[in-house]
Amino acid sequence: MRVVLDTSVLVAAARSRNGASYQLVSMLPSRNFEIALTVALYTEWQAVLTRVEHRPRGVTVDASLKFLRYLASLAHVQDVHFLWRPFLRDPDDDMVLECAVASGSQFIVTHNMKDFKRAPELKVQAITPADFLKLFFDAFSAAGSSRLKTPDFFARFSSNFLSIAAALSFLADLFSCLNCSFLAALLL
């Protein structure tokens, strides 16, 4: 299943380790769902999550960008060939909706439910992180599986930052060598 993470979810995850946003992001990578991302949405993530008011205390802009590059490396990167604008009141929300429609995502996970009232017209459901987790875990339980892999990525990221930074640098170099300029640009 594919989902789109609205920037508000990443901001909430960065601010607190106690909420559903943090839990959801901590589940990545997941074999059970995949995030979808466009260049436009990734650019918004960068613009918002590098602001001092949205970064956790002691986290540099460089560290924030490296974390976002990691998330991008996990995502299904989607090209958008048809713009649905104007469809919602906010052009930034249209961009999130366009990513969901183009990628075939079932859900937009957001804290701003009111901004996506018209999303069901395009067969996409806006859902809060808490409701997505409940739906996800309920479906998982109904399937009869007793084990769900939920790695705490943020804890591993903090303790293994140098390893991850080295891996991202290696991947950027590899993609450059393989002439995958778009992927290399995401990692640089």
Regions of the chain with pLDDT less than 70: 82-85, 140, 143-188
Residue 158: predicted pLDDT: 42
Percent of the chain with pLDDT over 70: 72
Residue 109 φ then ψ, to 5° = -90, 120
Residue 17: predicted pLDDT: 87
Pick the CATH number of 2-155 from 3.40.50.1010, 2.40.30.60, 3.20.20.10, 3.40.50.300: 3.40.50.1010
Residue 159: predicted pLDDT: 42
Amino acid at 20: A
Residue 67: predicted pLDDT: 92
Strands in 110-184 per DSSP E: 125-127
β-strands 34-37, 125-127 pairing: unpaired
Burial 91-110 (b: 16+ CB within 10 A, else e): ebbbbbbbbbbbbebebbbb
Cα separation, 18 vs 40, in Å, equals: 29
Residue 53: predicted pLDDT: 93
Cα separation, 145 vs 88, in Å, equals: 39
Q: What residues does each domain of the chain span? A: 2-155
Percent of the chain with pLDDT over 90: 57
Contact of 38 with 102, CB cutoff 8 Å: yes
Residue that the structure tokens 């299943």 belong to? 1
Stated as kind and residue range, the H or E segment containing 15 is helix 7-15
Strands in 94-181 per DSSP E: 107-109, 125-127
Distances from the Cα of 38 to the Cαs of 17, 75, 99, 125, in angstroms? 26, 9, 6, 18
Name the token pair of 104.
């075939």
- For the chain, the residue count is 188
Distances from the Cα of 166 to the Cαs of 13, 49, 56, 160, 161, in angstroms? 24, 21, 22, 10, 8
